Each structure stands twice: as structure tokens, then as C-alpha cells.
Copies of this chain bind each other. A is one copy, B any other.
């Protein structure tokens, strides 16, 4: 059973049981279930970093929950006058905002806010290189929707492990839920953090084994100079990207996931973005219903 969360900021709040319950609720929303959120209910989205998908997805989820969304533009806010995030949130709460969905470049930005007892709910839409719980949950939903369960599944996570919010959170939860995780891509990115969760397997060995191939975005803008020399788009694609030949060697029923935006021709051949095995746009579609479930958990009656 879901217990009410005051804030939803970290994957560490999600037990396997809570994950299953959230997926159940998101699936119910997808089938048309009515939300249990009081109306009017006032939300604001504070995106201090760019994002199309996550921002728009939360906006949609809020409206589907019947919430009233009050626009907030960080660029034109008093944050530019040096106001702290805490004082900004206290102001929004005083004005009547009940839930703030926040994306911020600083790791754990939410910790001091929660310690200061800011008088509104916080939902974390991504912090620095830290947590991104709604992305983890929509990934889990998409996997369970496909296979009906997690136990015994083999998930291969391929690519920029070091800079990815997604890899860390997904691998931890997937192993708790009974799946096996393996890693591939540039071996230098398979650091100690990942070794407790799964083995490194060369890509061409991994491909025929996995049920889920989870590709990570190469964040070209975050690579070191040496990495940029080593991994041009072409060389990355040749060594670690999914092309038609690799695609054809996947197991029957196996799927491809990617948190998007995809670098077409790098992680995945452009022609395969919409291929049969691709669940990339389904992930985004599921994201709206999952965010409804998460927001309802925090804001519901």
C-alpha cells in the first residue's frame, strides 16, 4: 500500500513495494482512472536547467490531475536578484503554491529545503548528476508493461555510465526487483560504483543475452578532451552504438530503451529510433502517467 510522501525527491524513498504500487497506479491512469487530488490545487514548475521532455511531461501530468499550474520562469525571477531557493519557495508557498516540481543543477539541492521545513511539497525532477526518480519510475513501468514482471530479466545498460543520472538509479532498483544488470560501452566508464551491481560485458557478447538494452545518452558536452578525441560520433557508434547488424542479433522479444534525447547515429542508428523493438517514445508516453501517480502520492487526498 502506498503511504503518503511529503516530498518525492530521491530514489531511496522507493522500495520495491512502492515501485510496484506506483506502476499499478500509473497503469490505472493510463486506462483512464480518476485522480484523487483536491481541486483547485496549485502547482509550479521550477526548471533551472533546460528540459523539453521532463518539463512538458510534468505540465501535462499536472493538468491531467486537474491542478492549476502557475507559470514560473527562473530567468525572470528574483533569483536573479540573489534570492535563495528557500526564500523563493517560501514566497511561492505564501502565495498559495502547494507543490513545486524542481529541476536544479546542484546535487541534493532539496536537502536544505526539507531541513528548513519549506511549507510546500517538493517533487524532484532531476538534481545535478544525482537523482531523477521520475525517470527511473517510468523506465520501470515500461519494462513491467512489456514483460509483466522484473524477476529473471536481464538488463544491459550501455554507454555513459559516469555522467548518467539514469544508470545509477535504475541499476539499484532493478537488482532489488530481481533483475540482473550488466554494463557495456567504454570500459573506462565502468567504475567501481557499478561493479557491485553487475559485470562488464563486451557489447557484442551482451547483445544476444539481454531482454532490455538500455542505452544512455552520450553527453558530448561533458566529455573530457581525451574522451572527445577517442569518441567521435562515428567511432562511438561503430564501437558501442546499436546498428542494424547488432539490432538483428537481439533476443526475440527484447527491447531498446533510451532516456532521450537520442543522439541519432551515435547511441543508436537513426533508422532504428522508431524500430519495432524501440520503446523510446513509449517511455515518454508512460512518463506522463507515472508523474501523475507520483504527484498524486505527494499531493493526493
Contacts and interface: CB of A to CB of B under 8 A. Distances in A.
A176 B102 CA distance: 45
A57 B72 CA distance: 11
State the oligomeric state as a number of copies: 3
A31 to B, nearest CB: 15
Interface in A70-91: 70-73, 75-84, 87-88, 90-91
Interface residues on A, range: 35 or more
B261 A57 contact: no
A56 interface: yes
A52 B284 CA distance: 31
Contacts of A12: none
A91 B260 contact: yes
A292 to B, nearest CB: 11
A220 to B, nearest CB: 8
27 contacts: A42-B60, A44-B56, A47-B76, A50-B76, A50-B77, A50-B78, A51-B77, A51-B78, A52-B83, A53-B78, A53-B91, A55-B76, A56-B72, A56-B92, A56-B95, A60-B70, A60-B95, A60-B96, A73-B73, A75-B76, A78-B261, A83-B261, A87-B264, A94-B285, A95-B285, A95-B288, A96-B288
